[in-house]
Amino acid sequence: MIVSPRLLISAGLVALFVAIPLIYIFIRAAGANPEDWQRLLQTRIWKLLGNTLLLTLSVTTGALITGVSMAWFTERTDLPARKIFRWLLAMPLAIPAYIGAIVHLAMLRPRGGYVPQFLANLFGQEIFTPSPFGFWGATFILTFFMYPYVYLLSAAAFRSLHASLEEAARTLGRNPLQTLFQVTLPALRPGLTAGALLVALDILAEYGTVALLRYETFSSAIFIQLSGRYDRSSASVLSGILVGLAILFLWSELRLQGQARFTQVESNWRPASLFNLGKWKIPSLFIVLGVVSISLLIPAIVLLIWSIQALLDPETLIKIFHTGSQGFGSYIWNSLWSSGLAALIAVTLSIPVALLAVRYPNRLSQIISRICQVGYAIPGVVIALSLVLLVNRFLPFLYGTPLIVVMAYVLRHMPQAVRSSESALKQLSPTLEEASRTLGRTSIQTMFQVTLPLILPGLLAGGSLVFLTSLKELPATLLLRPAGFDTLAVRVWAWATDGFYVQAAPAAFVLIFISALPLYFLLRREQIFR
């Protein structure tokens, strides 16, 4: 089939729009003063690189172990209340890691935290508790708020795994443990590498949590550079390296994925038999409950208690309800419309790209599709830096409006929309579109009357994902927001970093609640929740 030039041009423009901030950062980094490079190489870069890679490694490992083992418990064992635990284990996706960090800091802060104080009162003396700050604290918090990515992907993989695969291994004399490591886990590999990549890229982009826990990575160092000394070139250099690192991750995942193929015959699929936990039932229950508590129950309960405290204290209540002349309602409204608009734009822009990539698969369309997914590799701080420099120069009328924040969301979360639209289109047989053309509809009519209505659920899913992640976005919003444009995430951050946790709680609670709705919709689409 011949690609219509209109489609090619629109998809190309979308790719261009997505690629510009990235290219601009590389140009700025390469064009930075050699002295800046030298100063940074001597003082910062190696330490930041070490810190960042170490954290990525530890959290990815932690998330893999937690995610896979939780998936095993809920999909492959006779753990009680599995259905409920599936939901509880996935719901932490609605909680931004920095909110988790705020809560766990309040719990665990040496001497002042609820846990150390409780222990001190109980035993009448100070009891040593591990500090939530630094590397181990960051690993702990981030692991427990990022494992759901791995959990969902590996639960789906466990679910779709053919029973006969493991049965064959057992017949050939492998014991259950050998089967797990030699057959089951390798078969899960595509899901696991995808999950690990998501986690690793998120760690590179993470700002709020590492800043709160005082562990310096590239992202937090860039943020400090941007809000510290009066020059942009150090920040550009660090950003260039960070984006390079992210692209390296993306590329290596592609390589890893490329080597392995697991095909299964769908027709006679039946679920594998459940592992009987036996006397391990209770301990297993405690382990799963522990994970759910740390990542969901404790944050939710603490935020609820704080929110009630805030609502009962008239003085705090007054403070919550206005900043400048803006009120709580405006924070909610700003969060909703900016994330909603970003979702709408991202999905709209993803359609030509997906059409091109799915209906006309060739090298060029693959490249365009890949370019549209680089947003994964550009952390929020870098997008902010890039947009500040670009928009101020070329589109000054956009600067200082909330639309620049929306633009950052679109750029950053575009990949999610592209991937959803592509997978929705893949499931739609082109014969329907061809029939429509044969019956005299133009290509545009076909798109609006046939294609779009049929892939709408997929588009909605992509939109929900963009909406959900935009709601939680912090660093780009902080750096780009115009005065008076506060979102829930900004409010939570501003109050919490000022030390007013109780005041921040209602906004955090509302933010999590709003995030939970699209998440619920998304999870309902997952096989394991059907």
Partner 1 sequence: MFSKKFVLVSMLVLALIVSACGGSQAVSEENVAETVSVVGTEEAEISGDLVIYSGRSEPLFQPVVDAFRAKYPNVNVLLKAGSNSELANALIEERANPQADLFVTTELFTIQSLAVQGIFQPYSPVGVENIPAEFVGADNLWTGLTLRARVIIYNKDLVSEDELPTSIFDLTQAKWKGQIAAAGSTNGGMQAQIAAMQQLLGDDATAEWLNGLIANDVTFFGGHTDVRKAVGAGEFKIGLVNHYYYHLQLTEGSNVGVIYPDQADGEIGLIVNATSAAIVNGAKHPQATQAFLDFLVSAEGQKIFAEQNYEYPLLAGVPLKEGVQPLANFRLADVNMVQASANFDKAFDLIEQVGLP
Query: What residues make contact with partner 1 under the rule CB under 8 A?
Result: 13, 16-17, 20, 23-24, 27, 43-44, 109-112, 211-212, 214, 216, 224, 226-230, 319, 322-326, 337, 341, 344-345, 348-349, 388, 390-392, 394-396, 398-403, 406-407, 478-479, 481-485, 494, 497-500
Minimum CB distance to partner 1 smaller for 227 or for 429 = 227
Minimum CB distance to partner 1 smaller for 247 or for 494 = 494
Minimum Å distance from CB 491 to partner 1?
10
Minimum CB distance to partner 1 smaller for 43 or for 252 = 43
CB–CB of 242/218 below 8 Å?
yes
CB–CB of 219/479 below 8 Å?
no
Beta bridge partners of 326: 323
CA distances from 342 to 198, 266, 268, 397 (A): 21, 37, 42, 19
| Measured distance CA(14)–CA(7) in Å, rounded | 11
Minimum Å distance from CB 522 to partner 1?
23
Minimum CB distance to partner 1 smaller for 123 or for 230 = 230
Minimum CB distance to partner 1 smaller for 292 or for 391 = 391
Helix (H) and strand (E) counts in the chain = 26, 0
| Measured distance CA(15)–CA(19) in Å, rounded | 6
Residues in the chain: 530
For residue 463, give the nearest of 381, 351, 374, 331 by alpha carbon. 351
Phi, psi of 323 (to 5 degrees): -135, 120
Minimum CB distance to partner 1 smaller for 24 or for 37 = 24
CA distances from 165 to 47, 168, 273 (A): 46, 5, 12
Residue 339 amino acid letter: S
Q: Is 263 helix (H, G, I), strand (E, B) or coil?
A: coil
Minimum Å distance from CB 381 to partner 1?
12
CB–CB of 144/295 below 8 Å?
yes
Minimum CB distance to partner 1 smaller for 105 or for 523 = 105
248 class by beta-carbon count within 10 Å (0-12 exposed, 13-18 middle, 19+ buried):
exposed
Minimum Å distance from CB 466 to partner 1?
14
| Measured distance CA(293)–CA(296) in Å, rounded | 5
Minimum Å distance from CB 456 to partner 1?
18
Minimum Å distance from CB 59 to partner 1?
21
Minimum Å distance from CB 374 to partner 1?
15
Minimum CB distance to partner 1 smaller for 223 or for 249 = 223
For residue 377, give the nearest of 261, 499, 243 by alpha carbon. 243
Minimum Å distance from CB 510 to partner 1?
19
Q: Is 26 helix (H, G, I), strand (E, B) or coil?
A: helix
Minimum Å distance from CB 379 to partner 1?
18
| Measured distance CA(117)–CA(122) in Å, rounded | 8
Minimum Å distance from CB 400 to partner 1?
4
| Measured distance CA(261)–CA(356) in Å, rounded | 25
Looking at residue 450, the DSSP 8-state letter turns out to be I
For residue 13, give the nearest of 356, 451, 246 by alpha carbon. 356
Minimum CB distance to partner 1 smaller for 48 or for 199 = 48
